[in-house]
């Protein structure tokens, strides 16, 4: 027999009880508490921020005790959807009241929220390893829609810096006509510099090192050698 459970929007006095249940949910997660903070103080802060940002928190109350919660957000129309939708961020039911309809009642509250805002769809992305939650949602008609991929901001920025385009352009990808224009401009600049050098009486070509070496190795007159051997 299903327990008589009341589902209502959370009030500030419920945050401590929700945070306590959320800490247990973190411990039960297939990936452990490393994927979410298990500290109740931080969880209360996160819940406050979630509510302040327009999120909806529903609680299931049985005999005056909070025994489950559901976090949901209303997502407005966007580029690929003309209608709003409801996204369920988290749903949890205490172990001692499971299989008594508490989860169904919470999801019914999310369905009522979706109906109230005119959202034709309700989304939920449970952890891949949460098999019980996967079966629960499948029994309620939830079907696969899309897969999420996640990366830390620091890692993403580092990979973008590593894999981004090089600082200098890749000439192999430039159009052929563009490469021809660049080569022609470089040749014209070289010719202009040589003309300016000749006009100023400066050498405009490379230095002939072979002529210099031949002149250095040529035999010199005896008087030139004697003058070099006498110190000044």
| Cα separation, 182 vs 123, whole angstroms | 55
Q: Are 110 and 72 in contact (CB under 8 A)?
A: yes
pLDDT surpasses 90 at 16: yes
Domains of the chain and CATH, by start? 6-146 (3.40.630.30)
Record the tokens describing residue 99, joined without a space: 């299989």
**What is the Cα 184 distance to its own chain's centre?**
44
Helix (H, G, I), strand (E, B) or coil at 28: helix
pLDDT in tens, 19-35: 999 999 888 876 654 45
DSSP letter for each residue of 77-99:
PBTTBSS-EEEEEEEEE-GGGTT
Question: Which residues make Cβ contacts (< 8 Å) with residue 96, sequence separation at least 6?
Answer: 67
pTM: 0.64
Percent of the chain clearing pLDDT 90 (strictly above)? 39
The pLDDT value recorded for residue 8 is 94
Separation CA 55–CA 46 (nearest Å): 11
Report d(CA 56, CA 195) in Å as an integer: 78
Query: Which residues have CB under 8 Å from 59's CB, separation 6+?
Result: 7, 8, 9, 10, 14, 17, 18, 66, 68, 69
In this prediction, residue 232 has a pLDDT band, given cuts at 50, 70 and 90, of: very low
pLDDT for res 1: 37
């Amino acid at each position: 027999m299903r327990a008589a459970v009341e589902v209502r929007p959370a009030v500030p006095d419920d945050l401590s009880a929700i945070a306590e249940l959320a800490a247990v949910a973190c411990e039960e997660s297939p990936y452990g508490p490393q994927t979410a903070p298990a500290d109740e103080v931080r969880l209360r802060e996160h819940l406050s921020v979630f509510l302040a940002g327009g999120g909806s928190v529903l609680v299931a109350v049985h005999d005056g005790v909070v025994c489950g919660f559901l976090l949901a957000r209303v997502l407005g129309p966007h580029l690929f959807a003309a209608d709003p939708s409801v996204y369920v961020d988290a749903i949890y039911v205490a172990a001692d009241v499971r299989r008594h309809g508490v989860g169904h009642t919470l999801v019914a509250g999310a369905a009522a929220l979706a109906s109230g805002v005119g959202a034709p769809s309700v989304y939920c992305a449970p952890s891949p390893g949460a098999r019980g939650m996967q079966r629960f949602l499948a029994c309620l008609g939830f079907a696969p829609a899309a897969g999420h991929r996640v990366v830390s901001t620091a890692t993403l920025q580092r990979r973008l810096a590593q894999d981004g385009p090089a600082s200098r352009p890749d000439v192999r990808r430039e159009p052929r006509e563009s490469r021809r224009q660049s080569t022609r401009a470089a040749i014209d600049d070289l010719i202009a510099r040589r003309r300016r050098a000749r006009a100023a009486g400066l050498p405009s070509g490379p230095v002939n090192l072979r002529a210099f070496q031949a002149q250095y190795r040529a035999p010199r007159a005896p008087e030139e050698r004697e003058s070099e051997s006498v110190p000044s």
